[in-house]
Each structure stands twice: as C-alpha cells, then as structure tokens.
Amino acid sequence: AVVSTQSTGTISKNSVELCFPSFYKMNLLSGLFTLTLAVPIISELKILSTPDGKSGPAPCAFTCTGVARHDETGDYAWLQNYSGQAYRRVDISECGFVSTPVFTATLAGAYAGEATYRCPAIYTWQIDTTWFSVLSVKDADVSQVISSDCDVYWSAHGYNC
C-alpha cells in the first residue's frame, strides 16, 4: 500500500489503515508478549546449593563469567607461596553477588608445541562475594605461569538479590 497525503500535507486515516491494519498490530503485540513470557523460561538458572548454604529467590539467580589475565599486577598478580605453589586473587566485585557463589575455574595459556610449559592444574580457594583465589595443585614457578600466558577462565553462579 502507498501512503498518500491530502492537500493539507497530513496522512489520511484510510491510508494509514491500509499500511498498518489492526490485524498486523495485534500479531506484533501477541508475538512480543509471547517472547516476553518465553525468555525467562529459556534462560532459567537453577542453583541447588551454594558454598555458604544461602539461597535466594529464583529470579535473582544469575551467572557471571570472565577471564583474569596472566599479566595483571598489584593485588591480582600471580604470586608464589612458601611451599612453591602459584596462586592469585581474582576480582569479581562487578558481578554484584550478595552471597558466596558457586565457582568453576581453569587455566588456559599459549601453546607452542610439545616441549613448552603447560599451565598447572588449579583449584578454587578462599571464595568470597567480591573475589576468589586460585592455587596450583602442585608446585609451579610463577615466572613460567606468566610467560606461558596462563589466564584464569572462570564462571560463577549465585544471587544478586
């Protein structure tokens, strides 16, 4: 349909109805309404338990994920502990957790062939609502962890209300 203007320069009522019949308006509204109902169902996150035993309402459950880079400095740099293990803190304060979340973390680094250093196995340690730490399972030289680009890839699942 073509929208025509009357001599006054306004769009006539009949022209608008030809372009946007109420049938199409209703289909658009019903489609948006259905999508609004379906999205929360599709993206539902169910947390069965948390480290501190606190649970929240289902609509407050969410996932926050990120990568803590190998070359960070200051409070979030790789360090060596007294027993030879590598460890570091990871800042998650921007996630906005109100209770201790459930964590998964792993290291991934550069791969340049068979003879190169591999990132060590780690486990999460000292978990809080704004940060957590990772610690190598066995002894690991911090300079090798950094030079091998061992970044911490992490996911946290918790509540924000």
Give the whole-angstrom CA distance, residue 48 versus residue 66. 22
Enter the pTM of the model.
0.69
- The helix/strand count (H/E) of the chain reads as 3, 7
* Residues in a beta bridge with 79: 87
**Is 33 or 113 the better-scoring residue by pLDDT?**
113
pLDDT score of 132: 94
Task: List, edge to edge, every strand of the sheet that includes 102-108.
Answer: 61-68, 151-159, 102-108
- List, for residues 48-81, the tens digit of each pLDDT value: 988 888 889 999 999 999 999 999 999 999 999 9
Q: Within 13 Å of residue 92, how many CA atoms lie on the same side as its CB?
A: 36
139 has pLDDT over 70 = yes
* C-alpha span between 127 and 155 (Å, rounded): 13
Residue 64 near residue 47, CB atoms below 8 Å: no
Q: Are 138 and 74 in contact (CB under 8 A)?
A: no
Give the per-residue pLDDT at 42: 53
Phi and psi dihedrals of 58, rounded to 5?
Answer: -50, -40
